[in-house]
């Protein structure tokens, strides 16, 4: 029963974060869209030429850094 509560809580937190990201400037259809973030980052690295989507997404940096810090804190590294 605790795992269901954890899943619901995590989903709610991600949903709230998506709304906050849209409020602070992300496009309405994007919120938290990992595929979109990766597309934009690959454009910034010069792997495609669509000018509109060629910039580093700070969300990707935050996700990777956060995952590393959590793994390090839990001694998974």
Per-residue model confidence (pLDDT) at position 29: 84
CB atoms within 10 A of CB 44: 14
Per-residue model confidence (pLDDT) at position 8: 93
Q: For the chain, which ranges sit under pLDDT 70?
A: 1, 76-77
* Domain residue limits, the chain: 2-73
């Amino acid at each position: 029963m605790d795992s269901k509560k954890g899943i619901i809580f995590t989903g709610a937190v991600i949903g709230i974060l998506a709304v906050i990201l849209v409020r602070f400037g992300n496009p309405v259809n994007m919120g938290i869209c990992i595929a979109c973030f990766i597309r934009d980052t690959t454009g910034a690295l010069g792997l495609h030429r669509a000018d509109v989507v060629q910039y580093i997404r700070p969300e990707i940096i935050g996700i990777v850094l956060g995952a590393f810090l959590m793994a390090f804190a839990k001694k998974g590294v």
